[in-house]
């Protein structure tokens, strides 16, 4: 035996020296020596078998297992099957079986070891606990957390009993238990356990012990994952203090804590503090690594994200540009990081509304990411999905679908056709087709997603329920309500089983069921189901969550169908209050296109509210008030948001106030993100989410109060509009006339389509309304009247005006008794006619009955409380020299892209306008010390230098080109049909027409297809954009404080019309720029008549006349003159905006100005090009 012991000791030393092969050979010799000396069935032989097996475990487990088995057999023969000596080799054998994938045998061996030690040593013996820990680890590594958790709980309990509840070993075991809960997706349970472990470690080690840092960091991160941001921040702040005391306040180790704290402050809506913390981290990193080190780029990127949330776009661009430059120092290494920064930069331009530049950056980001990780990497699929989500959200399905299709293809290639990520991608694409009501394409995708999920997760998984709900919606679209009901019912049952009966995921399929019940006439089930949906959503999400709006609307529609109008209106009112709350929260940020997309999501709600009143509850005052309130809050809302955007406010407030707006923008963004963060599929709402939302809401309210106190303009923007507030601003003799287009909703509205409605509001009394009938008939009459008005030779203008009046004004007239002033807010094509030219039953023009001015919405009346002082005197631009570029013309970057768009309008030629120079000279005598710019000085550059002139008068060519572009002879902008056109980039969206029919490619944006010609407008294609002011550019002028803008040119008041959002053209642009009142034309204006009208209009203003009343008086005077009585001469110009007198106007005498050739030189239909001569109208 001595020789055997010597060889065994030699094998152990060889193993310690890392000489594994020699150790194995020595141990084999030791085994042979022991078997020879003590026998093959001896206990020493069994022990050497175990030692040799241990050596094999790291290199050849298949050789280890038989050796352990042989050891156990020997020990059983010698000691019996329950001897404690068997437990050790059984534990080791279980690990060998586990490694070989023989899980049942591994569990059996480990369980037997536990039983042996429990019997021989007791249930709480240290050796027994080792065996328990072994089996727990086997289950844990197999992700069988349900079986691992009870074993770990036993370990915790045993250690508490033997060591005491505050022993560090207990804390270690609790941490293991927390990891098991986390693995089992029980985040709340894991966090609770780790909090308990921290208490124990604090007692044992002291709360300031640096050895706790990693544990505290982990716990802070988990609390953040659980939505408990306040607790997470508390822990992260504690870790920061420990690091500062150990390493110093400027140490590199502190920077990480600062970054985490910044992220948490951002989640809590305190972006100012988040920025401060992250800027401190950046300072430390720059000091440690240098300002040119790529190591600081991630922090710059994070700072940029904060600035994006705060609408600090210039600073975000600066940080991102710097981050990209630093990453590019190590390009191959950082291509993925460059891609992420480019994607963030794209987000800046998306929010600014520069979609073309944003998409260009996204494409560049995609190229870099593909280069970094390959075109078929999962990260590429994620980026594609995000790009698609943005496109789909704004309704750009043509862009979104190919991106989603490619993402699906990548997932299939990387993960196989049945992976759950493939199911998610297929489901996303299917849902887009479902939105488009393309059931043929949606069905196979949604069916596939459901099948994959059911196979992967089983038939009762919540993800399966999500797919079932989508499939049920598809079947409902196809009219297969019976099968849809089955799927919805099954989805409800799955959610109830998984989450209980109060989980918000149940709301979607339960609502769909209610709609099926309603269709079948099972009214008791409808009401019960919808009330349950509302109760669930209110309990889980809060009474003002966006999801509640649709639920209240469904319930209101049900009550309306039953004839219970009181409750129908009450439910619809709740829905609209929720909609308004979240509209106000979201519309302040984002591009104009994003704002329009947001408003589009509320179209059905608006239609329902108006239909409830006009179709079912016309005599119900509450319904009328709700409908009027909804119109006042929705109509023109995007234009309002553009005018009142926080970026515009920021440029007008004091520097200390700008920070408040930054904070509010960020806090609102955080609140919107938190409110709209739906619980994940298969998961409940985070435990800390409601607490965090409450904290952010409190911060939003605080900031709103602070900003409102600083800015009267913001106060009007943020206060909810009410009927009573608008009524208080209406004079006794004025009626507000809200004309709106809506789509009738309800079972009795099938096939009726779009209608116009009129809502009338007076200073006293309830709103009154009338449905004007189908929109198509009115739009036809609008087109006919516009054609008649634009031709002075037409003799049927009165009869056509009478026909349109019969449809629009006659039904309204009984509601206007006593009103001598009409404040009209038109909608859709009604924006393009002068209501004063309509003819009543007595053959009189409306202008003879009342004075008319125009509003985008009755909400515009609120702006009168915000009159800003002008910052410059009057400015006149007239008679530009179109064939020469002025010295002040703008050149260079920033205009190149717009110039490209303009050249696609064709090689337009603008004829000289000497008559406008005479107009300018005449107005020089009327206005007080105006700045007059003519010839080469009448440039776009001059307009850009203006800052709130009191009056801006522009006399030149104007143009608006719809998608039916015309050749020479129309609108003051002459198009040379044979001029060569540059090719549009293949990626650019244009309206392509047939070149053989004298039509051309036009940009889709109507703000680019309308504008004014200034000096240099006829220059060559590379520089002519310097002479064209598009409406898009006009919207960026600084006219805040400008009382009046007059565009004495062709068709400056027309453009593309949008239901509920006015005219997209110069009219909209100058409102966005800040002009309080605009005077613009609706058709090609006549030379002399326009000059005379303008001089007379300004003369009336100098006499103290109101802006609208001055135009009314001048137009009545022209109507009274036989040679100018045709509406062509007097009705073209309209007054839009504030109708009141201009501030500080006097009335000097003005001599008549002799007639001359007209400004626009546009020939009217019929060949007539000038009006009869005449002096100014008094």
CA 1172, CA 564: separation in Å to the nearest integer? 63
What letter would DSSP give residue 960? E
Residue 209 Ramachandran class (φ > 0 left, ψ -120 to 50 alpha, else beta): beta
Which tens digits make up the pLDDT trace of 467-506?
A: 999 999 999 999 999 999 999 999 999 989 887 898 888 9
Between residues 657 and 823, the one the model is more confident about: 823
Q: What is the mean pLDDT of the chain?
A: 83
Residue 903 has pLDDT above 80, yes or no: no
DSSP assignment of 754-770 equals EEEEEEEE-SSS--EEE
* Phi, psi (deg, nearest 5) at residue 825: -110, 95
Sign of the torsion angle spanned by Cα atoms 886, 891, 894, 899: positive
Query: Which value, to the nearest 10 degrees, does the dihedral of the CA atoms of residues 777, 778, 779, 785 take?
Result: 120
* Position 927 pLDDT exceeds 80: yes
In angstroms, the CA 959 to CA 1168 distance is 20
- Model confidence over 328-362: pLDDT tens digits? 998 788 888 999 999 899 888 876 656 667 878 88
Sign (positive/negative) of CA torsion 781, 786, 792, 798? Answer: positive
Q: Report residue 885 as tokens.
A: 């570029």
For the chain, list the domains and their CATH numbers.
375-458 (1.25.40.10), 459-541 (1.25.40.10), 870-892+900-961+1011-1137 (3.40.50)
Task: Give the DSSP letter of residue 615.
Answer: I
pLDDT band at 399 (very low <50, low <70, confident <90, very high): confident
Q: Are 1037 and 944 in contact (CB under 8 A)?
A: yes
pLDDT at 914: 78
Q: What is the pLDDT of residue 1092?
A: 83
**What average pLDDT does range 1107-1135 have in this prediction?**
93
Q: How confident is the model at residue 391 (pLDDT cuts 50, 70, 90)?
A: confident
Whether the per-residue pLDDT at 1035 is higher than 60: the answer is yes
Query: At 1066, is the pLDDT very low, low, confident or very high (cuts 50, 70, 90)?
Result: confident
pLDDT score of 1096 more than 80: yes
Is the per-residue pLDDT at 181 higher than 90? Answer: yes
Do strands 821-825 and 734-743 pair parallel, antiparallel, or not at all (unpaired)? Answer: parallel
| pLDDT tens per residue, range 579-588 | 888 777 667 6
Give me the pLDDT at residue 962, please.
64
β-pairing verdict for 1055-1058 and 1062-1065? antiparallel
Structural contact between residues 573 and 555, judged by C-beta atoms closer than 8 angstroms: no
- Beta partners for 1012? 958, 1029
* End-to-end Cα separation, the chain, in angstroms: 134
Give the per-residue pLDDT at 884: 62
Model confidence at 392, pLDDT cuts 50, 70, 90, reads: confident
Q: What is the pLDDT of residue 239?
A: 95
- Check residue 1178 and give its pLDDT: 21
Tokens of 93: 């054998």
Please state whether beta strands 875-880 and 951-955 pair in parallel, antiparallel, or not at all (unpaired).
parallel
Q: How confident is the model at residue 994 (pLDDT cuts 50, 70, 90)?
A: very low
In degrees rounded to 5, what are phi and psi of residue 740? -140, 145
pLDDT at 683: 39
Query: For residue 935, how far is the Cα from the chain centroid?
Result: 45
Give me the mean pLDDT over the 213-223 stretch.
Answer: 94
pLDDT band at 719 (very low <50, low <70, confident <90, very high): low
pLDDT of 961 reads 73
Q: What are the backbone angles phi and psi of residue 125, rounded to the nearest 5°?
A: -65, 150
Crossing angle for the helix pair 271-289 and 297-309, to the nearest 10 degrees: 160
Q: What pLDDT score does 1144 carry?
A: 64
The pair of structure tokens assigned to 166 is: 């505050």
pLDDT value at 686 more than 50: no
Q: Is the distance from CB of 772 to CB of 807 less than 8 angstroms? A: yes
Higher pLDDT, 1056 or 976: 1056
Report, as an integer, the average pLDDT of 945-973.
68
The residue ranking higher by pLDDT, 860 or 155, is 155
Whether 651 shows a pLDDT value over 70: the answer reads no
Helix (H) / strand (E) element for 773: namely strand 768-774
Sheet holding 1028-1030, edge to edge: 958-960, 1010-1013, 1028-1030
Q: What percent of the chain has pLDDT over 70?
A: 81
Answer yes or no: is pLDDT of 458 > 90: no
The residue to which tokens 């009550």 are assigned: 559
pTM of the model: 0.65
To the nearest 10 degrees (0 to 180), the angle between helices 523-541 and 507-520 is 160
Look at residue 692 in the predicted model and tell me its pLDDT: 60
* Higher pLDDT pick, 88 / 652: 88
Give 437-478 as a 3 state SS string.
Answer: CCHHHHHHHHHHHHHHHHHHHCCCCHHHHHHHHHHHHHHHHH
What is the pLDDT averaged over residues 1137-1159? Answer: 54
pLDDT of 300 reads 96
Do 1051 and 1084 form a contact (C-beta atoms < 8 A)? yes
* pLDDT value of position 645: 55
pLDDT in tens, 32-82: 999 999 999 999 999 999 999 999 998 899 999 999 999 999 999 999 999
Candidates 631, 655, 657, 634; CA nearest to 713 is 657
Most confident of 713-722, 1001-1010, 1058-1067: 1058-1067
Q: Which tokens hold the place of 676? A: 């709209």
User: Would you state the pLDDT for residue 883?
Assistant: 85
Summarize the confidence of residues 95-124 as an average pLDDT. 95
- Please state, in angstroms and rounded to a whole number, the distance separating the CA atoms of residues 807 and 983: 46
Span 957-972, average pLDDT? 52
Asked if residue 249 has pLDDT above 60, the reply is yes
């Amino acid at each position: 035996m001595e020789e055997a012991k010597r060889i065994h000791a030699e094998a152990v030393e060889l193993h310690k020296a890392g000489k594994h092969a020699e150790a194995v050979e020595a141990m084999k010799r030791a085994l042979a020596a022991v078997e020879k000396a003590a026998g093959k069935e001896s206990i020493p032989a069994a022990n050497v078998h175990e030692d040799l097996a241990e050596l094999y475990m790291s290199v050849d487990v298949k050789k280890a297992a038989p050796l352990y088995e042989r050891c156990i057999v020997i020990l059983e023969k010698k000691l019996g099957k329950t001897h404690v000596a068997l437990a050790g080799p059984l534990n080791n054998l279980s690990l060998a079986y586990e490694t070989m994938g023989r899980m049942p045998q591994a569990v059996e061996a480990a369980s037997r070891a536990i039983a042996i030690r429990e019997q021989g040593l007791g249930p709480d013996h240290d050796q027994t606990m080792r065996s328990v820990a072994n089996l727990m680890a086997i289950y844990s590594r197999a992700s069988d957390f349900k079986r691992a958790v009870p074993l770990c709980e036993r370990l915790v309990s045993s250690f508490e009993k033997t060591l005491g509840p505050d022993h560090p070993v207990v804390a270690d075991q609790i941490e293991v238990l927390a990891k098991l809960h986390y693995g089992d997706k029980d985040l709340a349970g894991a966090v609770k356990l780790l909090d308990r472990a921290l208490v124990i470690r604090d007692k044992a080690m002291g709360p300031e012990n640096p050895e706790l840092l990693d544990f505290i960091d982990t716990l802070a991160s988990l609390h953040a994952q659980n939505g408990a941001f306040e607790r997470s921040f508390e822990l992260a702040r504690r870790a920061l203090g420990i690091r500062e005391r150990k390493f110093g306040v400027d140490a590199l180790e502190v920077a990480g804590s600062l970054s985490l704290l910044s992220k948490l402050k951002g989640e809590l809506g305190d972006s100012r503090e988040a920025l401060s913390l992250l800027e401190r981290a950046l300072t430390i990193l720059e000091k440690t690594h240098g300002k040119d080190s790529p190591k600081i780029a991630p922090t710059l990127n994070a700072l940029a994200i904060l600035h994006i949330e705060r609408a600090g776009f210039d600073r975000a661009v600066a940080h991102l540009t710097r981050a990209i430059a630093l990453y590019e120092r190590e390009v191959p290494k950082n291509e993925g990081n460059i891609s992420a920064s480019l994607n963030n930069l794209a987000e800046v331009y998306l929010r600014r509304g520069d979609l073309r530049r944003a998409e260009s950056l996204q494409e560049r980001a995609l190229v870099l990411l593909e280069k970094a990780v390959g075109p078929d990497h999962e990260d590429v699929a994620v980026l594609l999905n995000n790009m698609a989500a943005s496109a789909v959200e704004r309704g750009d399905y043509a862009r979104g679908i190919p991106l989603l299709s490619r993402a699906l293809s990548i997932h299939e290639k990387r993960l196989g056709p049945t992976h759950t990520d493939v199911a998610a991608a297929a489901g996303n694409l299917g849902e887009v087709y479902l939105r488009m009501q393309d059931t043929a394409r949606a069905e196979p995708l949604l069916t596939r997603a459901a099948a994959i999920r059911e196979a992967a997760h089983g038939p009762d998984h919540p993800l399966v329920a999500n797919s079932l709900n989508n499939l049920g919606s598809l079947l409902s679209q196809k009219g297969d309500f019976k099968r849809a009901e089955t799927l919805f019912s099954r989805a409800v049952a799955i959610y109830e089983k998984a989450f209980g009966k109060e989980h918000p995921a149940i709301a979607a399929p339960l609502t769909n069921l209610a709609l099926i019940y309603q269709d079948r006439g099972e009214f008791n089930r409808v009401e019960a189901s919808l009330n349950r949906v509302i109760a669930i959503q209110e309990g889980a999400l809060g009474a003002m969550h966006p999801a509640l709006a649709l639920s209240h609307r469904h319930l209101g529609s049900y009550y309306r169908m039953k004839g219970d109008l009181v409750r129908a209106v009450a439910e619809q009112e709740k829905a609209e209050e929720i909609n308004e709350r979240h509209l106000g929260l979201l519309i302040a940020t984002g591009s104009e296109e994003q704002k329009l997309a947001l408003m589009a999501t509320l179209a059905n709600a608006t239609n329902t509210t108006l239909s409830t009143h006009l179709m079912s509850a016309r005599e119900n005052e509450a319904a009328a008030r709700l409908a009027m309130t909804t119109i006042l809050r929705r109509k023109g809302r995007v234009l309002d948001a553009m005018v009142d955007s926080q970026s515009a406010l920021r440029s007008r407030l004091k520097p200390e106030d700008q920070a408040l707006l930054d904070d509010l923008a960020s806090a609102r963004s955080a609140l919107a993100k938190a409110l709209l963060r739906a619980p994940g599929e298969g998961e409940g709402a985070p435990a800390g989410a409601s607490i965090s939302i409450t904290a952010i809401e409190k911060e939003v309210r605080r900031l709103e109060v602070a900003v409102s106190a600083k800015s009267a303009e913001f106060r009007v923007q943020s206060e909810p509009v009410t009927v009573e507030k608008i009524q208080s601003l209406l004079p006794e003799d004025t009626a507000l006339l809200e004309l709106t287009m809506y789509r009738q909703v309800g079972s009795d509205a099938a096939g009726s389509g779009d209608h116009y409605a009129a809502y009338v509001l007076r200073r006293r009394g309830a709103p009154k309304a009338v449905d004007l009938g189908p929109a198509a008939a009115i739009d036809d009459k609008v087109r006919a009247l516009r054609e008649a008005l634009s031709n002075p030779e037409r003799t049927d203008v009165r009869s056509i005006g009478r026909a349109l009046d019969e449809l629009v004004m006659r039904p309204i007239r009984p509601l206007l008794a006593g009103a001598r002033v009409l404040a009209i807010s038109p909608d859709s094509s009604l924006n393009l006619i002068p209501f004063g030219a309509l003819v009543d039953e007595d053959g009189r023009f409306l202008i003879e009955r009342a004075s008319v001015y125009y509003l985008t919405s009755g909400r515009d009346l609120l702006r009168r409380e915000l009159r800003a002082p002008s910052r410059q005197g009057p400015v006149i631009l007239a008679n530009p020299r179109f064939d020469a570029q002025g010295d002040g013309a703008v050149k260079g970057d920033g205009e190149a892209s717009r110039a490209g768009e303009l050249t696609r309008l064709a090689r337009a030629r603008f004829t000289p306008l000497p008559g406008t120079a005479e107009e300018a000279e005449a107005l020089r005598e009327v206005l007080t010390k105006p700045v007059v710019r003519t010839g080469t000085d009448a440039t776009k550059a001059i307009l850009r230098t203006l800052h709130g002139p009191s009056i801006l008068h522009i006399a030149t060519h104007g143009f608006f080109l719809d998608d039916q572009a015309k050749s020479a002879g129309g609108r003051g902008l002459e198009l040379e049909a044979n001029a060569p056109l540059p090719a549009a980039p293949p990626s650019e969206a244009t309206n392509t027409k047939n070149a053989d029919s004298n039509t051309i490619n036009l940009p889709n944006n109507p703000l680019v297809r309308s504008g004014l010609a200034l000096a240099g407008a006829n220059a060559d294609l590379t520089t002519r954009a310097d002479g064209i002011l598009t409406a898009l550019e006009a919207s960026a002028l600084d006219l805040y404080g400008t009382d009046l803008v007059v565009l004495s040119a062709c068709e400056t008041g027309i453009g593309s019309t949008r239901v509920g959002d006015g005219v997209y053209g110069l009219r909209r642009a100058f409102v966005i720029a800040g002009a309080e009142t605009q005077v613009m034309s609706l058709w090609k204006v006549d030379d002399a008549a326009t000059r005379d009208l303008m001089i007379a209009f300004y003369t009336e203003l100098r006499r103290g006349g109101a802006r609208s009343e001055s135009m009314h008086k001048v137009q009545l005077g022209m109507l009274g003159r036989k040679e100018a009585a045709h509406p062509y001469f007097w009705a073209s110009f309209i007054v839009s905006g504030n109708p009141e007198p201009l501030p500080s106007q006097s009335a000097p005498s003005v001599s008549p100005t002799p007639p001359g050739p007209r400004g626009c030189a546009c020939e009217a239909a019929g060949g007539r090009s000038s009006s009869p001569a005449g002096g100014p109208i008094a």
